[in-house]
Chains A and B, each alone.
Chain A
Amino acid sequence: MTTARALAPPPPLAGRLLDAQLHLLDRQVMDNDGVPVTTVDDLELSGPALDVELAPGTPAPVLTALLTGPVLGTRIFGGRPPSSRLVRIPWEDVAEVGVVLKLGVGGGNLDATWVERWIRDKIIARIPGGRHDPR
């Protein structure tokens, strides 16, 4: 494998190609108003089961969700948080993949933005003047 060799290109496909590391992971996610929501920390696939022999003709797994969550510690020290701790943004909500990922839904109701909502309601709102726009 160390010698350079000419490899054939894969069969042409109609759909757009997305490499997970190049085009998806760590990209910023914007909602439909252009407000930043989160970044893509990981991706969830519909399969396959681990350590199970795949029969020929097994349908390829599809992307089901973008994952985000408390990954700072595991980014530094390795591993990943348990699956139950990760917040999912369904792939159906993704409208466009470019320099950033754009969602086709508003970010206000997504689980991924609950920290912002909590800080707004519990902390910012209690600061005098925190309940209205600055004048």
Chain B
Amino acid sequence: MILGDLLGVPVYNDGGTRLGRVADARFVVDGAPRQLLAEARLLGLVVSPHSASSFLGYERTELRQPWPLPALLRWRHRGSFLVLWEDVAMIGGQGVRLREGFTAYSPALERSVQE
């Protein structure tokens, strides 16, 4: 599938309650080794309750400057969470449904991987 079709689609829990939209997809480069980089597998989806997309990802980093952009953007993406691939029950063109009892993780990136 093409990732652009997944970004921005609504996310629902198993009861049909809307949780937000897919703001981003997180990959981890730890799959089967290749000649150059290892395979990048889909770790999970970043879900944002208030916005269809993420602008510069301030809500996932520790950056505080330039004032007041980080504070504004972090507020815009308040309540964002990361849901792992194991908790995704179905991906469709009209929405993503999560499994019952899914775990919402912090979307923050580790400091070492921030660009």
Q: Which of B37-91 contact A (CB under 8 A)?
A: 37-44, 46, 49, 53-54, 56-57, 60, 78-79, 81-82, 84-86, 88-91
A42: Cβ under 8 A from any B Cβ: yes
- How many chain B residues touch the partner (CB < 8 A)? 59
Query: Once the chains bind, are B88 and A54 in contact (CB under 8 Å)?
Result: yes
B105 within 8 A of A: yes
Given the complex of chains A and B, what is the CA–CA distance between A104 and B35 in angstroms?
9
- What B residues does A92 contact at CB under 8 A? 34-36
- Asked whether B115 lies within 8 Å of A91 as measured between CB atoms, the reply is no
- Bound Cα distance from A53 to B30, whole angstroms: 25
B contacts, CB < 8 Å to A? 1-5, 7, 19-20, 23-31, 34-44, 46, 49, 53-54, 56-57, 60, 78-79, 81-82, 84-86, 88-93, 99, 103-110, 113, 115
